[in-house]
Amino acid sequence: MRPGDMYPKNFEDNFKIFKNFTELSKKRPTSFGYVNATCQEEFSSKFGINIESLPSIIIYSYTKDVYTNLVGRFSEDDMSELLNKAVSGRINFQRMQKDNAVLQDIKCETIQPFVESDDDDDIMQEIIAEEKRKREQFDKERNADDEKKKKKKKKDKKKKKNKSTDL
């Protein structure tokens, strides 16, 4: 299972969750905005968001130059909990320079979506198999070294015993 498989994948489902969350939170002293993080990847990365962790939410205080982002599921409950903690000051914020929080002028519709191919799965399987072989070889070598040490200890013990009986 891939990281995002248990979450809604399409834009409409994710945006519906976001809209419901903003509707529930409209009585709070907050404003909300939506950023296409796959299009604005540089902007998103400045907030510690990467493509594999989407969808996500960032809480940014423009007046204090601090932010925090969602660690958890992209759900109304988790986002509300994050907002509650942020408003009450029970969460760690990170510093951010205002000039880093700027969106680039990008035509998002020209960006082609990344499509995972079966070739990627095959390559990943090869990498996993190679790592497994390396680990098995390492374990064999380590066990061989352990056996040599045991034999040497036995030999040394035997020599020591023989020396003490010779006296």
Residue type, 107: K
Confidence (pLDDT) at 119: 64
Q: Is residue 85 part of a domain?
A: yes
Q: Is residue 18 part of a domain?
A: yes
| Confidence (pTM) | 0.53
Confidence (pLDDT) at 28: 77
Q: How many domains does the chain have?
A: 2
> Residue 160 is part of which domain span?
116-167
Confidence (pLDDT) at 153: 77
Residues 94 and 21 in one domain: yes
Nearest to 56 by CA among 33, 40, 75, 74: 74
Counting as low any pLDDT under 70, the low residues of the chain are 1-9, 111-120, 163-167
Residues 38 and 91 in one domain: yes
Residues 34 and 56 in one domain: yes
Q: Is residue 3 part of a domain?
A: no
Residues 54 and 88 in one domain: yes
Strands across the sheet containing 66-69:
58-61, 66-69, 94-95
Residues 120 and 92 in one domain: no
Q: Is 58 exposed, middle or buried (0-12, 13-18, 19+ CB in 10 A)?
A: buried
Contact 104, 42 (CB under 8 A): yes
CA distance 123 to 39: 27
Residues 38 and 94 in one domain: yes
- The separation between CA 45 and the C-alpha centre of its own chain, rounded to angstroms, equals 12
User: Which phi and psi angles does 108 have, rounded to 5°?
Assistant: -60, -30
